[in-house]
Amino acid sequence: MSLMRQIAWLLLGVVLAALGGVVGLSTLATQQLMRTQLELKNADNAQTLALALSQQQGDGELIKLLVSAQFDTGAYEFVRWRDPAGVTLYERAEAPRAGQAPAWFKSLLPIEAASGLAQVSDGWKAIGSVEVKSHASYAHDALWLGTRRLVAWMLVVGMVAAVAAWAGLRRIRRPLDAAVAQAEGVLAGSYGQVTEPRVPELQRLTRAMNAMVQRVKDLFEAQAGQLLVLRQQVHHDALTGVSTRQHFLAELDAALQRDDGPVVAGLVLVRLRDIAGLNTRLGRATVDEVLLTVVSALQAYPESVPGCRVGRLNGGDFALWLPAQGVAAETAHALADALRASLPAYGAGVQVALGAIELPRERPSNVWLGEADAALARAEHLSEAHGGFVIEIVAEPGIGREQGEALWRAQLQQAIGQAQGRLVEFPVRDRAGRLLHLECPLQLQLDGEFRAASGWLPLAVRARLTGQADLFAVRLALQAIAGDGQARCINVAPASLADGAFLPQLRELLDQWPQAARALLLEVTEAAATEHFDRLLEIGQQLRPLGVKLGLEHAGAGLAHVERLYQAGLDYVKLDASVLLGVAGEAGRAAFVRGMVIMLRSLALKVYGEGVVDEMDAQALWDCDLDGITGPWVTESGAA
């Protein structure tokens, strides 16, 4: 029983006991008063009657007549006239009267008043005595009525006192509930402050809680700041500030594996030629300035276009990932123009070669790097022959030619409307190999074959059909959950979050499958959560009461926005493959992952890893205390 309920019952018991005591004492006092009044009445009536009988000079008939007259005028149980020897000469009596008071009340509170007795004389001669006793039933009736009224008033007063006590307890409980909610918020990763109440004791409690929450928040933000510093040290080049070779290649692998993004993308490699000779001729400090100038030109793209990535592959080689179609050649030429304008200031010997490729994202990363290196090598060869800045562009034949948008829209609508699709299941397992849930990307049947999301999602974004596709995927997941009870996860596209009609339709769909909805997980990308944070909050508020779990996938650099992360109401976070790849061979990367796990655990979040391809990486991630992992290695091995 809660503390407030115990206090409420205690107050109610005290009030009822006090009122019950008042009623009991008042009833007993009234009983004693009525007994005394009856005794006085009997005695007074007996004296009055005896005086009247003494004036009749012993005439028996007159005495009987007066006794009858006295009996008829009062509520008497009996009136007796006895001779001096105690023999009854005349008596009028009446059977006991029932009255209104119940028998149990009369037995509980009896009123036994003594009868009145007086002597009757004729002058100085005693001629007998008269005895008078009134009915007690009238006194019982009056006592019963008074007691009922008193109990009724007691109930009214008790109800008023209960209402007043409830209001007072509710007022006291409000700051206590706020303190409890604040403590629960800390467990859930929320660090809100509570207004101090006026009650001194509760005011001290609230002040202490606010101070504790602020200290926890400060510690958490300090930890997040340290994590950012560690991330900068581990993932970024010390001189230029862009991604290191290992981290850039991990980002490239992760970008190629994702379902979101364009079907065709681009990669541009930039090489500062003969960097060793430049160090000799210009000096290391000047060459560092040249490198920073190259990076400055490259950094303009990720700062303006979401998803672009820049990395330093080695001393003078840089890479620019372009998650867009048909822009690689244009970007390479724009970079060359920018470098032509800035690099000659450092001397005529500063030369740059650029290689740009444009390929389907379904091609593996080694093909991308091989094609890009070949293009860069050809550009460098031409630069040796002609000098200056040389660009080599490579694009597969047919790249850039697409079917008409109307045809794609019709095919997508047909596939979704006629339920021509299926879910592909990828396990997420814990350290013991137990299946936590299944990741279920949607494949749609287009042109007679099932295509992964990477093949149709960019088209669905342009056709504004992502919301319908995601609802179709959720429906398939709910049907599968209803069949086997296994938890399943569906990825929600960023465009669906921005669709105002998506959430009401999703809520309606989940209401049709209330049991299966409790085993459903919905994931949004880190970028989508940042861009549509208010929509993410709304989805969490509406779906979590239904039992749906909400997660963040492809999580990495954006987790630094802790002021938003602990407000999002998430259940778990899946760390991006670009953060995890190669963690077994790099202590700094492992320390960064471990720090992220500690930070997320402080927000009461589960932490999973995605895109794990290597057993050594998997073991390193278990050492970092992740809750589960997924990826090609988990799927192929069948165990975590």
Contacts 24+ apart (CB under 8 A), 53-56: 53/81, 53/120, 53/130, 54/120, 54/121, 54/122, 54/127
Rg of the chain (C-alpha set): 48
**Overall average pLDDT of the 468-491 stretch:** 94
Q: Which of 8-12, 226-230, 557-561, 618-622 has the lowest mean pLDDT?
A: 557-561
Is the pLDDT at 387 greater than 70? The verdict is no
pLDDT of residue 512: 93
**Overall average pLDDT of the 203-229 stretch:** 71
Residue 174 falls inside a structural domain: no
Contact indicator for 403, 459 with CB cutoff of 8 Å = no
Domain shared by 588 and 463, yes or no: yes
Q: What CATH number should be reported for the domain holding residue 46?
A: 3.30.450
Who wins on pLDDT, 116 or 124? 116
Residue 295 falls inside a structural domain: yes
Residue 418 falls inside a structural domain: yes
Q: Which of 7-16, 26-35, 103-112 has the lowest mean pLDDT?
A: 7-16
Task: Give CA–CA dist 11/16, Å, rounded.
Answer: 8
Residue 216 falls inside a structural domain: no
Task: Give CA–CA dist 224/222, Å, rounded.
Answer: 5
Domain shared by 508 and 583, yes or no: yes
Domain count, the chain: 3
The range of the structural domain enclosing residue 110 comes to 3-159
Domain shared by 369 and 412, yes or no: no
Domain shared by 592 and 467, yes or no: yes
pLDDT of residue 397: 43
In this predicted model, what pLDDT tens digit does every residue of 521-553 receive, in sequence order? 999 988 777 778 888 888 888 888 899 999 999
Domain shared by 423 and 329, yes or no: no
Domain shared by 123 and 253, yes or no: no
Q: What CATH number should be reported for the domain holding residue 284?
A: 3.30.70.270
**Overall average pLDDT of the 243-264 stretch:** 82
Q: What is the DSSP letter of 109?
A: S
Domain shared by 437 and 572, yes or no: yes
Tokens of 509: 């769909």
Domain shared by 500 and 581, yes or no: yes
Most confident of 305-314, 411-420, 470-479: 470-479
Domain shared by 369 and 424, yes or no: no
pLDDT of residue 254: 82
Domain shared by 382 and 410, yes or no: no
**Overall average pLDDT of the 7-11 stretch:** 74
Crossing angle of helices 328-342 and 284-304, in 10° steps, is 140
Residue 170 falls inside a structural domain: no
Domain shared by 457 and 317, yes or no: no
In this predicted model, what pLDDT tens digit does every residue of 32-84 receive, in sequence order? 888 888 888 888 888 888 888 888 777 888 888 888 888 888 788 888 888 88
pLDDT of residue 146: 85
Is the pLDDT at 304 greater than 80? The verdict is no
**At which of 365, 395, 425 does a domain end?**
395
Residue 195 falls inside a structural domain: no
Is the pLDDT at 190 greater than 80? The verdict is no
